[in-house]
Chains A and B, each alone.
Chain A
Amino acid sequence: MYTQSMDIPGQQPRAVAAAEQGAQEQEFEARIAADRKVEPRDWMPEAYRRTLVRQISQHAHSEVVGMLPEGNWLTRAPTLKRKAILMAKVQDEGGHGLYLYAAAETLGVSRDTLLDQLHSGKAKYSSIFNYPTVSWADIGAIGWLVDGAAIMNQIPLCRCSYGPYARAMIRVCKEESFHQRQGYEIMLALANGTPAQKRMAQDALDRWWWPVLAMFGPHDSDSQHSGQSMRWGIKRVSNDDLRQKFVDATVPQAELLGLTLPDPLLKWNAQRGHYDFGPIDWDDFWKVVNGDGPCNRERLATRVRAHAEGAWVREAAMAHAEKQRRKAHQEAA
């Protein structure tokens, strides 16, 4: 069950003796080792809970902020069919944000608290959404590459040790299966289109390729949280392994489009059985993560504004519900 606000009869906060905690911890470790799921009210180490809240809420924020770059093209999609598809896709992302906030809430933190963290700049979201969508081809590139990368990241999360997160991810992955395909289809139409359309597609690929590779996160050797998350079964596959898998899958897709990946060092390595690729510009990645990407301020300001402008709606709905409750109460009395 997905919530922390459930009432457990007669439960009192109690001090846990050190010995008892030791036993709980052992049971928790045994459960993780046996690949069994942890559910909301099960005992869990505080650090496990913190890690999950951080990761799930970042994930939720990414979905919601991620509505904005694609939302930029909702009113300008080239055909009514493309418009309907894009509306459904951006809407799905809102839904995914919602599933993930709900999963985070099972860990005892409210959505409002999480939104405050986002709006105050304390919480992070995926750096990829701080790049601008300047042409229609960017919508294709986002679907093909960003969603493609996200799916690679998310499929292992369906097996995450924390039940509500794993279940949310199963739902997300099921729904996302069309996202990457629609992006690739947009690219395909452009690649087979007029010379101007093809240039548009190549330009988008040139701009998105490196930020997408960086999206998988720092190299395993530099990744602050990776090791512990792997041990806890929150993370299942390392950043570098996922990145490699993504490159290997994407190269033939780009070839089929007749587009060139902007990496002169990209080459098949028969010995490794993988593509080698050039170095990622981590300075640029950290610059964007730390707030100085092209759209960081805009994206955050947009979210803050939407939330602030919606405050009167949320308040009025609560006030109305309260009035109705009082009325029902009076009628009953």
Chain B
Amino acid sequence: MNCSSHHFDYLLRLGGSSLVLGQRMAEWIGHGPVLEEDIALANVGLDLMGQARMLLTHAGALEGRGRDEDALAMLRDVPGFRNYTLCELPNGEPVSQVGATRDYAFTLTRNFLFAAFQCELWKALGASRDAELAAIAAKSAKESRYHYGHAADWMLRLGDGTDDSHRRMQAALDLLWPYTHELFAADAGEAELEAAGIAPRSETLRAGWLQAVEPVLAEATLARPADTGFLSTGRFGRHSEHLGHLLSELQYLQRAYPGAQW
């Protein structure tokens, strides 16, 4: 299979999204609200990290310039990343220039929205003509279904828990919802990938995603926010302020000791 730049960028998008969200999960380990959940979040993070490694390895092989998963994860700067902005936001309300924030409402709501998206994505990619991508999708689908179930149950518990938890969940949902627009936005390469049978157009995933999201929100007594004109652009390499900080940690050793083996 010859590799178009759209195909490569698409794999970077998916791999980068899993990587960046996996990194956010790693920030929770040791700080969870209860030991049991600490362990659960670490499992989600490990699954995402595994997806990232497979997708980036595949992207590197397809590119054929000898870049492995670490070269793609550690040695590209912000504009080289193609992940969805949703995944790079901090673990709590995004505010300018701040270190690690952790808010379980924000973290779970993001996991819920993104896992629901990944479920749709993997379902569609299971039929990809990129056989390696199809295999990765088949493996990842099981993981994302679990993440979705875990997060959806928590949406119910916290949305319909105490007044305080309801308020926190609604606030998190209101903050995060606009970032979901990016998941379904069209781009220039989509027609080519669709024609080649590699990936679906983003827009086609929206109906299934809404079906997975809206009933849970309703049962959790949370109001689905209205869609607005806001559109984040991480997948085009134009990111929020938060990715740079995330990369400065992620890439620190590789940058400080160029070429070293670990």
| A contact set with B: CB distance below 8 Å | 64, 67-68, 71, 74-84, 87-88, 90-91, 94-95, 97-98, 101, 136, 186, 189-190, 192-194, 196-197, 302, 306-307, 309-317, 319-321, 323
Contacts and interface: CB of A to CB of B under 8 A. Distances in A.
A81 B74 CA distance: 12
A317 B35 contact: no
Interface residues of B, number: 49
8 contacts: A64-B35, A67-B30, A74-B29, A75-B27, A94-B30, A309-B102, A310-B37, A317-B161
Contact of A98 (B19, B35, B46, B260): B35
List the 8 closest pairs (A to B, CB-CB), nearest first.
Answer: A310-B33, A316-B161, A316-B165, A91-B42, A67-B30, A78-B262, A313-B33, A71-B30
Interface of B: 19, 23, 26-27, 29-39, 42-43, 45-46, 49-50, 52-53, 56, 69-70, 73-74, 102, 104, 156-158, 160-162, 164-165, 168, 246, 249-250, 252-254, 257, 260-262
Given A80-B70, A90-B42, A94-B35, 12 more contacts: A67-B29, A79-B262, A80-B56, A80-B73, A90-B30, A91-B29, A91-B38, A91-B43, A302-B30, A306-B31, A307-B33, A316-B158
A196 B226 CA distance: 54
A310 B40 CA distance: 15
B31 to A, nearest CB: 4
Contacts of B165: 312-313, 315-316, 319
B162 A76 contact: no
A315 B42 CA distance: 22
A323 B42 contact: no
Tell me the interface secondary structure of chain B in the complex. helix
Given A76-B252, A101-B35, A310-B34, A189 B262 contact: yes
A215 to B, nearest CB: 20
A62 B32 CA distance: 16
A220 to B, nearest CB: 34
Given A80-B73, A83-B49, A189-B262, A75 B35 contact: no
Most chain B CB atoms below 10 A, which of A78, A189, A321: A78
Nearest to A77: B253
Residue among A82, A189, A306, A311 with most chain B CB within 10 A: A306
Contacts of B252: 76
A91 B157 CA distance: 24
Contacts of B261: 189, 192-193
A169 to B, nearest CB: 18
A82 B261 CA distance: 12
